[in-house]
Structure 1
Amino acid sequence: MLGLWLWPHLLTLVATAEGATDWGDLRLPLEHVPYFFRNNPHLEQRCKDEDTCPYKAMLRETRCWGYEEKCPESQRKSLPQCEGEVEPTRRKSVPDRKSLFWRQADFGYVKDRMDNMKVFCRGSHTSDSSLECTDALGFCRGRNIYLDLRHANMTTRDRYRNDIVHNSTFGGHCDLDKVGLNAAMTTPVINKRPLASWMQEMEHFASLHPQPLSTGECDVIVDRPTLIIKMDEEYNIFHHTCVFMNLYISLHLNNSFSKHVNLLVWDTSAFDLLGYMSELRGAFTKHDVMLLKQLDGKRVCFRDAIFSLPSRMLLGIYYNLAPPEKLRVTFLVRNQYLSQTSCSYRCGIDNMYPDLARMRGINYITWEKMDALTPENKTALPNRTNYSFDVGEFVRLVRVAADQVTSHHDLKKARLRTHKGHREL
């Protein structure tokens, strides 16, 4: 299933004055269009009916991401692959380990989140509010949500204050399952950290009467669907990448890929900390990025709010992920068949970066000679200081990586095909 609430304005493309569909609003790679049609049969039918649809060739494709209700394994976007023999001491068989990998690090992860989506606040009419979330409140979406920031006073350095929202300042006009919401918060303490879930915000979600949108209590009404995200450390590219990876997965959870959306950074500090969002926002929206502090002092009503998966969920993507060993996959982030990743130094974190490389299905190398590595601050934690490297050793590692790529059998095949094509010309 694709969630318990239908959000038609998120799933429907823009219609022109003549009634035809603006297919330019479907901003997806061409190879992903068949998957989108699989989840949106009404748009697939519209493409069949309209002569202006540029995706006619995609209608012949029968593919699915893997999280759909009726998606056979043979039609999935990607399948895990085992490299080499699995140790006989391993308890799980190869099929079991493949299934586990698919659920933890592939589109099976999306399916698991969809399957445990729960409604916590249900409205009686279409003009009412609603709220539904996954387990541990990692992903939530709401309709007609009220947020009172008149006393937020975002003037400090604290990026994730837990006093921004409290009872009666955050909620909607709907019947709240407070018992169910409280039960969703009885999870490991790590899930209650700001970058692990939306718990510290959702625990204050309240049933409001009457509907703020109908009583003129909203100083600002945000009509455009809004993706709300929490930014991780900008100075660490690994942590920062987690933000965008989970934002992309959230689009799948919501089955919405339009760029007519807002991006709102939930940061309670007084700073403009956008990180690489300025450069990457074009992949998600046509509009300027919003900061929470821009709404400081106002009562805000969101027609549609999507609280994106945060970057540091327990067993999330990528943070804290530990996929089964010797498995690799063509996952959401893998676009090239040939690549090599290297980490100059793991900074005392042994498994995180190799896991990232294995998820993407590429080789991994790192610094080997510790006597050729010098920390700037010898008393600081390994991941909290800069390093200088021996130039000769650095060049050697680059050459090792280059040799592994140039000797790859897929690259040799590609070169043979290119050479053959030139000869035929």
Structure 2
Amino acid sequence: MARKTVQLVVAAISVVVAGEGTARRWDDVNLHPQHLPFFFNSNPTLADECHQDPNCPYKVHLRRGVCWGYETNCTSDQAYSYPSCPGDSRGWVQTKEEQIRTFYEQGDFGYVQQHRQELRMYCHPEQKGDSSLECSDHLRFCRGRNLFLDLRRLPQRRDPVHYSIDVLQPGEIGGHCRLDREKLQKQCDMISALQSWGPELRNFARLEEKIIRRSPHCDVWVDKPAYIMKLDATVNMYHHFCDFFNLYASQHVNNTDEWAFSTDNQILVWQTIPHYSNFAPAFDAFTKNPVWNLSRVSGKRVCFREVVFPLLPRMIFGLFYNTPLIWGCESSGLFHAFSGHLLHRLGVPQRTTGDGRVHITLLSRATKHRRILNQDQLISALQKDKTYVVQKAEYTHQQDLRLQFAQDQWTDVFVAMHGAGLTHLLFLPDWAVVFELYNCGDPNCYNDLARLRGIKYITWEDKYKLTPEDEGHHPDLGAHEKFTNYYFDEGEFTRLVGEAAKHVRSHHAWQNLQSTSDTTHKHTEL
């Protein structure tokens, strides 16, 4: 992918997200330095203020002539990224131009552009202070102003709210605006917990009174911009980071002013069970405030000045999960930006030095299935090559997520069995290789994710050089490749790692890193 190179100023950056009437503080901005020119270009009012303010430290990022890719009149030479499609589309399309365009619309900022173009108003404001509701097709993304939720029945509910589609009844969500009920109901065609906001918004009603801070309809008034999230499996890194990725993509869909990437917001998780997850620190990339769930506001009528219903993790033809990705293409700018954004917001330093050696991290599984039975033998074989630095990582639910991401940044080749831990590939350096040691009969999941992230993917090639412990025992389906453990041929393993290392050494970004060699950098086993 050809990505725009812009002059970077390594400084703390931020988007002003103060409440109404609060003075803007430039030092509150907190965006990745590479993203600042794109942010200011898409927010010209803020850019003008920065230009006129002698105290604004971001003037070098103004008027750079770049854009994310979804803005009106954004040309391909200005855009954050341009997809690479070196391979054949396998009959998906007829021309290379169609292939590039298809990938851009499926998995890059073109996906954001599509949702922005689909936005339609379903409840129209007619006077100042009225409510509003606008959504993309099938109610996959929505946003509104001055809306209310009536959760007074929630304390009497017997079952916890989790993947539930029956939380609201007619009239328990709405606002004071001209409702086009028929058009809204036609969009309620994907009634499933994590596919759309149809289960909730089919109950939308017009109120006679305006929704304002002192409205009788409001027991709780949320003045900060709010996001209501429906989460996938929070114990699984792959599925939970689908939540975070879609929240980031939704911020781009909602990017209409300088508050789009603010952390001074309120996230409300659409469930009553507590959110316990090793991956919870990822929320720090999106909000500086405590995350609520429905138990926090149960029994109350909650009103929102501004609220976003973001893209969901299991949408039909969604992105990250359930993505129909055209063959032959790679390197999504949207995924690249997500990776940098999350690392920056979490304070994880991206690697800026090298030591001339290829750093290999092997992820060790402590699960019942898909363990590497001769793991120590394979690690010892790699350690014989003194041009490698080999680490065994044991990422447990007790280990700090930031430390895991820091190790990712010092990984050139990431080796792991098929499983959610391979989601770490999203946070590897651009020159890295992910080696899915064995895909266990699921060849596309992490291959596609690596293509979207723009890093090289390899997997085991010769099934005669691996030995399963047994046939595998799925609790319902019987013999299954994912439900056993494996021995791997040492020679074939070291050969494939050697191919990965060769790719790393040939990458210009890794080569540039060696000019700032740090021979004193040490790692401890994770």
Give TM-score, length-normalised by structure 2: 0.70
The structural deviation recorded for 1:362 is 2.0
Residues 170, 205 of structure 1: 8 Å contact kept: yes
Where does residue 129 of structure 1 map in the other structure?
131
1:329 aligns with 2:425: no
Residues 230, 312 of structure 2: 8 Å contact kept: yes
Question: Which of 495, 502, 505 in structure 2 is aligned with 1:407?
Answer: 502
Indicate how the Cα distance of structure 1 residues 295 and 374 shifts in structure 2: closer, same or farther if over 3 A, else same.
Answer: farther
Hey, what's the Cα distance between the residues in 2 that align with 1:105 and 1:414? 24
Where does residue 58 of structure 1 map in the other structure?
61
Q: Which amino acid aligns with 1:238?
A: Y
Question: Which of 64, 73, 78 in structure 2 is aligned with 1:75?
Answer: 78
Question: Which region of structure 1 is more displaced relative to structure 2, 249-258 or 275-284?
Answer: 275-284
Indicate how the Cα distance of structure 1 residues 391 and 220 shifts in structure 2: closer, same or farther if over 3 A, else same.
Answer: same
Where does residue 243 of structure 1 map in the other structure?
243
Give ranges in structure 2 of 5+ residues lacking alignment.
1-14, 341-428, 518-526
Q: Which amino acid aligns with 1:208?
A: L
Where does residue 285 of structure 1 map in the other structure?
287
Residues 11-57 of structure 1 show CA distances to partners (whole Å, capped at 9, x for unaligned) of 8654999x963112322111111111111101111111111111111
Hey, what's the Cα distance between the residues in 2 that align with 1:310 and 1:60? 34
Hey, what's the Cα distance between the residues in 1 that align with 2:479 and 2:276? 22
Indicate how the Cα distance of structure 1 residues 290 and 277 shifts in structure 2: closer, same or farther if over 3 A, else same.
Answer: farther
Residues 338, 405 of structure 1: 8 Å contact kept: no
For the residue of structure 2 that corresponds to 1:75, the secondary structure is coil
1:359 aligns with 2:452: yes
Where does residue 224 of structure 1 map in the other structure?
224
Hey, what's the Cα distance between the residues in 2 that align with 1:280 and 1:382? 37
Give TM-score, length-normalised by structure 1: 0.86
Indicate how the Cα distance of structure 1 residues 400 and 313 shifts in structure 2: closer, same or farther if over 3 A, else same.
Answer: farther
Indicate how the Cα distance of structure 1 residues 295 and 80 shifts in structure 2: closer, same or farther if over 3 A, else same.
Answer: same
Q: Which amino acid aligns with 2:203?
A: H
Bigger relative CO (Cα 8 Å, ≥ 6 apart): 1
The structural deviation recorded for 1:133 is 0.5
> Structure 1 vs Structure 2: percent identity of aligned residues?
34
Hey, what's the Cα distance between the residues in 1 that align with 2:507 and 2:166? 58
Hey, what's the Cα distance between the residues in 1 that align with 2:60 and 2:77? 21
Give the RMSD, CA atoms, in angstroms.
Answer: 2.9
For the residue of structure 1 that corresponds to 2:307, the secondary structure is strand
Indicate how the Cα distance of structure 1 residues 400 and 331 shifts in structure 2: closer, same or farther if over 3 A, else same.
Answer: farther
Question: Which of 269, 292, 296 in structure 2 is aligned with 1:265?
Answer: 269
Question: Which region of structure 1 is more displaced relative to structure 2, 327-336 or 91-100?
Answer: 327-336
The structural deviation recorded for 1:364 is 2.4
Where does residue 305 of structure 1 map in the other structure?
307
Indicate how the Cα distance of structure 1 residues 381 and 32 shifts in structure 2: closer, same or farther if over 3 A, else same.
Answer: farther
Residues 18, 264 of structure 2: 8 Å contact kept: no
Hey, what's the Cα distance between the residues in 2 that align with 1:151 and 1:163? 12
The total of aligned residue pairs comes to 403
Hey, what's the Cα distance between the residues in 2 that align with 1:398 and 1:179? 60
The structural deviation recorded for 1:236 is 2.8
For the residue of structure 2 that corresponds to 1:74, the secondary structure is coil
Hey, what's the Cα distance between the residues in 2 that align with 1:65 and 1:415? 26
Residues 52-97 of structure 1 show CA distances to partners (whole Å, capped at 9, x for unaligned) of 111111125221011000101111111111224566x564201110
Hey, what's the Cα distance between the residues in 2 that align with 1:406 and 1:41? 44
The structural deviation recorded for 1:211 is 2.6
Residues 286-327 of structure 1 show CA distances to partners (whole Å, capped at 9, x for unaligned) of 011111122111111111111111001111111111221111
Question: Which region of structure 1 is more displaced relative to structure 2, 237-246 or 67-76?
Answer: 237-246
